Amino acid sequence: MKFSCWNVNGIRAVAGKGFGDWFSSTHADVISLQEVKAFQDQVDPKVVNVDGYRCFWNAAKKPGYSGTATWTRIEPLDYRTGLGIPVCDEEGRTQIFEFKDYFYLNCYFPNSQPERARMKEKLAYCSEIKKFCESMALKKGVIVAGDYNVAHTPLDIKNAKSNEDSPGFTQEERDWMTSFLVGGTDQNSVMRDVFRERNPGAAGLYTWWSYRAGARGKNVGWRIDYQTVSAGLLDRVIDVDHERQVMGSDHCPIYLRLKN
């Protein structure tokens, strides 16, 4: 089983930058996108309707903003959107799929914004994700894929010192991420950041780069995109990695492979 995940920063923009070639070459069973920034009927049907996949679209009410979309080869047992946080649900941030052995969440976490303008919404969203994972992991596996808008540790950001209070690297957000992961500050936590566990101490492995000042060419980036898995799925993980060579967005795709 392969799961591919990508914040495309606008599906209509990336569609003209090799998105179709990437989609067909990933051979993923589930492909989840964040920040699609479009209603489904605004997108070329050839992008939406792909042979062998069923597409689920969750647009924001606000045009040209946020939104998630997922293509799956496997018919879900259940599908729903939202976490019960109206301000976030209206932004199309969450898709929840139930499959036979696991739940799969496609998530676009809110950005906390300068001066913590949306920190309340961000932490509320994070709290609900954590509750969901801890509850549902008692039933079956859980995968949370997407743009978390959090660089967890100094290894996950190029210039940690100068970004100590920047959105996505505030202490509040990093503390939540620590509490979310097994081995952190909460004994109830069930989720594993397998990529970091398999690349301990490795810096420079980023998933987002600013469009400014040639940041991507210089690899001045942040690791803010993750596919975390519940502890019960850990033994099934084959590999998890970033596709840093794939262009078209300010993020790169990431993938996770599990044993069937």
Collapse the DSSP code of 53 into the 3-class scheme (helix H, G, I; strand E, B; otherwise coil) and give the result.
coil
Residue 238: per-residue pLDDT: 98
Number of separate domains in the chain: 1
Catalytic residues: 108, 147
Residue 230, domain CATH: 3.60.10.10
10-49, pLDDT tens digit by residue? 999 999 999 999 999 999 999 999 999 999 999 999 999 9
The radius of gyration of the chain from alpha carbons, rounded to an integer in Å, stands at: 17
- Give the pLDDT mean for 185-201: 95
Q: pLDDT exceeding 70 applies to what percent of the chain?
A: 100
| Mean pLDDT confidence for 99-128 | 98
Q: How high is the pLDDT of residue 100? A: 96
Read off φ and ψ for residue 11, nearest 5 degrees.
Answer: -65, -35
Q: What is the pLDDT, as a whole number, of residue 216?
A: 98
Mean pLDDT, to the nearest integer, of 211-233? 97
- For 154-186, the pLDDT digits (tens) are 999 999 999 999 999 999 999 999 999 998 999
Confidence of residue 132 (pLDDT cuts 50, 70, 90): very high
| Strand-pair category, 102-108 with 254-258 | unpaired
Residue 56: pLDDT band by 50, 70, 90 thresholds? very high
Q: What are phi and psi of 68, to 5 degrees?
A: -135, 155
Residues 6+ apart with CB under 8 A from 213: 220
Q: Give the global pTM.
A: 0.97
At residue 1, the pLDDT reads: 97
- Residues 58-66 have a mean pLDDT of 98
**pLDDT at residue 224, rounded to an integer:** 98
Domain with 7 in it? 2-258
Residue length, the chain? 260
What pLDDT, on a 0 to 100 scale, did the predictor assign at position 194? 97
SS3 46: helix
Residues 55, 111, 6, 44, CA torsion sign: positive
C-alpha 149/C-alpha 147 separation (Å) is: 6
The reported pLDDT for the residue numbered 211 is 95
- Average pLDDT for 81-109: 97
If pLDDT is split at 50, 70 and 90, which confidence band does 150 have?
very high
